[in-house]
Amino acid sequence: MSELHTSEAPRSETMTQGWIDVCGVEDIIPNTGVCALVGKRQIALVRVGEGEEVYAISNFDPFSKAFVLSRGIVGDKGGVPKIASPIYKQSFDLRSGQCLDDPGVSIPVYPIRVRAGRVEIQAAAEPLAAAS
């Protein structure tokens, strides 16, 4: 697994209308994740399958209290794309951040898009779903 870094103040050529270019889709091995530092946040970028299906979630595992989710096990549960923590194995829905094993827990998910083979995250990097 690898880490990707972006600067805290993105250069103008890496930012397009509020989106920050983080990496190429091909930089993420299918069915794995990588960690990107976006501003001061560790965000796990998770690629599901061979295509351009990529999700952005917090890299922080609320159960182990460690920044490890990008190293988790990618799969699905009943058709729901998920990642399982590499520490205690709780699974999180990649679309919503909801823990599939404990409904009272969720992690932040972030707005992301793939454009011309490049993974971009919204510059504000505010979560779409708040952690609970």
CA distance 76 to 20: 28
Query: DSSP class of residue 78?
Result: T
* Residue 130 pLDDT: 53
The model's pTM? 0.84
* pLDDT value of position 61: 98
Our measurement of the distance from residue 122's CA atom to the centroid of its chain's CA atoms, rounded to an integer in Å, reads 12
In the structure encoding, which two tokens stand for residue 75, read together?
A: 């799969």
- Beta strands per DSSP E along 39-117: 41-48, 53-58, 60-61, 66-67, 73-77, 80-84, 91-93, 112-115
132 residues of the chain, pLDDT tens digit each: 445 544 333 333 366 679 999 999 999 999 999 999 998 999 999 999 999 999 999 999 999 999 999 999 999 999 999 999 999 999 999 999 999 999 999 999 999 999 999 999 997 756 665 555
Structure tokens at 88: 């205690």
Strand 3-5 and strand 32-38: the pairing is: parallel
Q: What angle do CA 73, 48, 12 make, to 5 degrees?
A: 110
Which residues are registered as beta bridge partners of 45?
34, 56
The pLDDT assigned to 128 comes to 67
- What's 98's DSSP letter? B
